[in-house]
Amino acid sequence: MDNTFDIIVVGSSFAGSFFLHGYLPKARKDARILVLERGSKDSGLQQWASEKTFINRTPEKPWAYVIGFGGGSNAWWACTPRMMPNDFKLKSTYGVGVDWPLTYEELEPYYTEAEKVMAVSGPDNSPYPRSQPYPQPPHRFSDPDRLLKAAYPNQHFPQATARTRVATANRPPCCGSAVCSACPIGAKFTTINEMSHLYKDPRVTLLLEAQALAVETAAGQAKGVRYLKDGVEQIAKADLVVLGANAIFNPYLLQRSSLDHPLLGKRLSEQFSMGVKIYLDGVDNFQGSTSINANGYMLYDGPHRSQYAACMIEVQNVPFVRVDKGRWRQVCYMKFIFEDLPNEKNYVTVSATNPNLPETVHKGFSAYTQRGMDTLPDVLPKILAPLPIDRLDISGPSHGEAHILGTTVMGNDSATAIVDKHMIHHQVRNLMVLGGSVFPSSAPANPTLTLSALTLWAVDRL
Amino acid sequence: MKRKMSRRAFIISSTVGIFAVATGVWSVKSGYLNTHDRMTKTIFAVFEKRLSYLKWDKAQVMSFIKDFLTHTRNKGYLKKIQRLSFFYPLYAHTNWLERTSFAGKIRSFEERIVTKFLFSTNFFREGADETKQVKYLSYYDPYKMPCQNPFAQWQ
């Protein structure tokens, strides 16, 4: 194989696939793009995060990822709310955390494009400003949702989701099996079911079971990627290198490439949640049409964020019964998802005991997040007052939300950021880093739609 | 000089000894020492404690329990059932655990078992009629048989 390309993309998950989606329409007819995917296409051989691929020095905080063609898109739950405008300016609005180097308004058109690709189902009105309606109509509410909607018309919405409400050309409508991590009917968006055509483009060479080892650089320029394939190390050369791995492997690759920076690998973060089981009095539940019906924004944005974390409420429709004669469906489960502030005590680094593996250290979420969680016992009776309730069972905090963020942070100042606002490495100007690793903060909203939109935003400037 | 045991000490030590032997005999005879048996009995206790008013068949329930304990997707959950099963006598024959800080976990356990069982039967498909016989059809596995959630309304 001729190992010289115009572009090398590492990873075939959301970042890698949305890069191709944005770039191919404007690429030259004779462009050569190599995609290095560590995993295989065989779903039976997909690897979940394990000690074979990383060392977790603080195993009480597990991390979840999938290695395989399509990456995390094979395992996500397809929740696609946008971040709120103030999530991008937490520091300047509330005096905490970090501001993003771009605004919601700048990213908005790319949110719209990403939602179109995923065929997102969402509400007619939404908690954030939109220039276009959602591609698909909203999912059906449950009866408790209808009560909450009546009480909070501008704060309780059908969840924006890439689980179909109506069929697309490639996907049937969601039927509420509620095992979305491995959707048995293919209703959930994955890069395999909706973006595979990109990898069949004659300009794209997809190399499976090819593990990127490091970015080759010389004189401050990326020259290519060293990778391992069939036990043999090889070098592919390119004019532009794009890292689209997750927030454990992106910084690890940069560290292995000796592209050091005081913040590289630091601020490993994600959201944390509390669970609330609500035993209802006389109201049946589970009439919704998908696994998660709604998002509540009653605790999200506001002056409280100067003191404690924002929270997004997720109303689940994963069925389970109440063990109470005749009251089988009078129960509801909600997740209260809290943002966390970035903290350098949580990080990814090259393992000292085995440099062929990254290792993670996470010493806990912030006091800011804890203060948010501490408000729940007082706040819940007021927020849930529209529901007739027998009892509440509060559990948690969770070990996390299966996201990985923050380790190659984006920003305008090269002293405090790895990549600039267009996701180009501050020092190596033909190296891009995409994905959740660039997030300066972990807002309560699920990050996948945002990282996909950011990828389109970055590609648009190439 | 040999020290004589007082009568009081003799009664106490005899009582403790008899209790220990009785507990040991009971543990062996009841299957308490056998983890699998203990877990099976703990799950069965959910049916006796919580679903006694439904018309279920013991053999079918045991068949369900066997399927539950051997299903690959329950592997991670079995450790929790194992831990609970150490308290099987308390759980099965008293309500003490439900008055402790474990009450929420007990409820979750019961909900999980009952959900899986009732979704594996004709119960919800036939209108949740508590006067009808509950028949175990096949182990509810939405990965193998999707779109069978009896509550979902996707129209």
B50 to chain A, any CB pair closer than 8 A? The answer is yes
- Which token pair is A399? 């070990």
Cα(B95)–Cα(B29) distance, rounded to whole angstroms? 24
* Mean pLDDT in residue range A77-85: 98
- Most B CBs within 10 Å: which of A139, A177, A293, A399, as the mutation test of the B interface? A177
Q: Which of B104, B108, B154 minimises the CB distance to A175?
A: B154
Residue A44: which pLDDT band, with cuts at 50, 70 and 90?
low
Residue A196: which pLDDT band, with cuts at 50, 70 and 90?
very high
Higher pLDDT, B108 or B88: B108
Query: Does the pLDDT of residue A281 top 60, yes or no?
Result: yes
How far is C-alpha A241 from the geometric centre of its chain's CA atoms?
Answer: 22
- Residue A181 is predicted with a pLDDT of 92
Packing angle of the helix pair A448-460, A14-23 (nearest 10 deg): 30
Burial of B120 (0-12, 13-18, 19+ CB in 10 A): buried
From residue A11, alpha-carbon distances to A24, A66, A164, A435 in Å are 16, 11, 25, 10
B154 to chain A, any CB pair closer than 8 A? The answer is yes
Query: Does the pLDDT of residue A259 top 90, yes or no?
Result: yes
B59 to chain A, any CB pair closer than 8 A? The answer is no
Cα(A213)–Cα(A233) distance, rounded to whole angstroms? 9
B152 to chain A, closest Cα gap in Å: 5
Task: Check: CB of residue A162 under 8 Å from CB of residue A14.
Answer: no
Cα(A303)–Cα(A134) distance, rounded to whole angstroms? 29
H or E element, residue B38: helix B35-50
Closest CA to A79 of A313, A280, A256, A286: A313
Cα(A131)–Cα(A353) distance, rounded to whole angstroms? 51
Phi, psi angle pair for B107, to nearest 5°:
-60, -45
Q: Which of B46, B107, B154 minimises the CB distance to A289?
A: B154
Q: In the 8-state DSSP scheme, what is residue B73?
A: G
B139 to chain A, closest Cα gap in Å: 15
What is the gyration radius of the CA atoms in chain A, in angstroms?
Answer: 22
A329 to chain B, closest Cα gap in Å: 9
Q: Which of A178, A277, A320 minimises the CB distance to B142?
A: A178
Q: Residue B122's CB: how many other CB atoms inside 10 A?
A: 16
Cα(B138)–Cα(A116) distance, rounded to whole angstroms? 40
Instruction: Name every chain B residue with its beta carbon within 8 A of the beta carbon of A184.
Output: 142-144, 146
Report CB contact under 8 Å: A173, B110.
Answer: no
- Residue A147 is predicted with a pLDDT of 98
A362 to chain B, any CB pair closer than 8 A? The answer is no
Burial of A207 (0-12, 13-18, 19+ CB in 10 A): middle
- Residue B25 is predicted with a pLDDT of 74
- Mean pLDDT, chain A, as a whole number? 96
Residue A270: which pLDDT band, with cuts at 50, 70 and 90?
very high
- Which token pair is A433? 């880093």
Please tell me which residue of chain B has the smallest CA distance to A276: B104
* Mean pLDDT in residue range B29-50: 86
B33 to chain A, closest Cα gap in Å: 29
Q: Which of B128, B143, B151 minimises the CB distance to A182?
A: B143
Query: Does the pLDDT of residue B19 top 70, yes or no?
Result: yes
* Mean pLDDT in residue range A259-273: 97
- Residue B94 is predicted with a pLDDT of 85
Q: Which of A176, A320, A321 minimises the CB distance to B154?
A: A176
Phi, psi angle pair for A295, to nearest 5°:
-120, 135
Residue B155: which pLDDT band, with cuts at 50, 70 and 90?
low
Residue A45: which pLDDT band, with cuts at 50, 70 and 90?
low
- Residue A460 is predicted with a pLDDT of 97
Higher pLDDT, B18 or A249: A249
- Residue B28 is predicted with a pLDDT of 67
Closest CA to A77 of A318, A331, A397: A318
* Mean pLDDT in residue range A198-217: 98
Residue B29: which pLDDT band, with cuts at 50, 70 and 90?
low
* Mean pLDDT in residue range A144-161: 98
Query: Does the pLDDT of residue B32 top 80, yes or no?
Result: no
Phi, psi angle pair for A152, to nearest 5°:
-130, 70
Q: In the 8-state DSSP scheme, what is residue B130?
A: T
* Mean pLDDT in residue range A419-423: 98
Interface size A-B, in CB pairs within 8 Å, comes to: 81
Domain span at residue A282?
4-460
Query: Does the pLDDT of residue B124 top 70, yes or no?
Result: yes
SS3 of chain B: helix, strand, coil, percent, to 5: 60, 5, 35
Closest CA to B123 of B140, B110, B109, B145: B140
Report CB contact under 8 Å: A185, B112.
Answer: no
* Secondary structure string (H, E, C) spanning chain A: CCCEEEEEEECCCHHHHHHHHHHHHHCCCCCCEEEECCCCCCHHHCEECCCCCCEECCCCCCCCCEECCCHHHHCCCCECCCCCHHHHEHHHHHCCCCECCCCHHHHHHHHHHHHHHHCCECCCCCCCCCCCCCCECCCCCCHHHHHHHHHCCCCEEECCECECCCCCCCCCCCCCCCCHHHCCCCCECCHHHHHHHHHCCCCEEEECCEEEEEEEEECCEEEEEEEEECCEEEEEEEEEEEECCCCCHHHHHHHHCCCCCCCCCECCECCEEEEEEEEECCCCCCCCCCCEEEEECCCCCCHHHHCCCCEEEEEECCCCCCCCCCCCCCEEEEEEEECECCCCCCEEEECCCCCCCEEEECCCCCHHHHHHHHCHHHHHHHHCCCCCEEEEEEECCCCCCCCCECCCCECCCCCCCCECCCCEECCCCCEEECCHHHCCCECCCCCHHHHHHHHHHHHHCC
- Which token pair is A59? 């195993």
B148 to chain A, any CB pair closer than 8 A? The answer is yes
**ipTM of this complex prediction, to 2 decimal places:** 0.91
H or E element, residue B12: helix B7-30
Task: Check: CB of residue A87 under 8 Å from CB of residue A302.
Answer: no
- Residue B143 is predicted with a pLDDT of 93
A173 to chain B, any CB pair closer than 8 A? The answer is yes
- Which token pair is A40? 């295989």
A290 to chain B, any CB pair closer than 8 A? The answer is yes
B53 to chain A, any CB pair closer than 8 A? The answer is yes
Please tell me which residue of chain A has the smallest CA distance to B140: A177
Query: Total domain count for chain A?
Result: 1
- Residue A294 is predicted with a pLDDT of 98
Higher pLDDT, B21 or A420: A420
- Residue B31 is predicted with a pLDDT of 60
pTM, full prediction: 0.94
- Residue A340 is predicted with a pLDDT of 97
Please tell me which residue of chain A has the smallest CA distance to B123: A328
* Mean pLDDT in residue range A292-312: 98
Cα(A18)–Cα(A114) distance, rounded to whole angstroms? 8
- Residue B13 is predicted with a pLDDT of 84
Phi, psi angle pair for A95, to nearest 5°:
75, 15
Query: Does the pLDDT of residue B88 top 90, yes or no?
Result: no
Cα(A449)–Cα(B14) distance, rounded to whole angstroms? 71
Query: Does the pLDDT of residue B27 top 90, yes or no?
Result: no
Report CB contact under 8 Å: A184, B146.
Answer: yes
Please tell me which residue of chain A has the smallest CA distance to B73: A179
CATH code of the domain containing A110: 3.50.50.60
Q: Residue A300's CB: how many other CB atoms inside 10 A?
A: 24
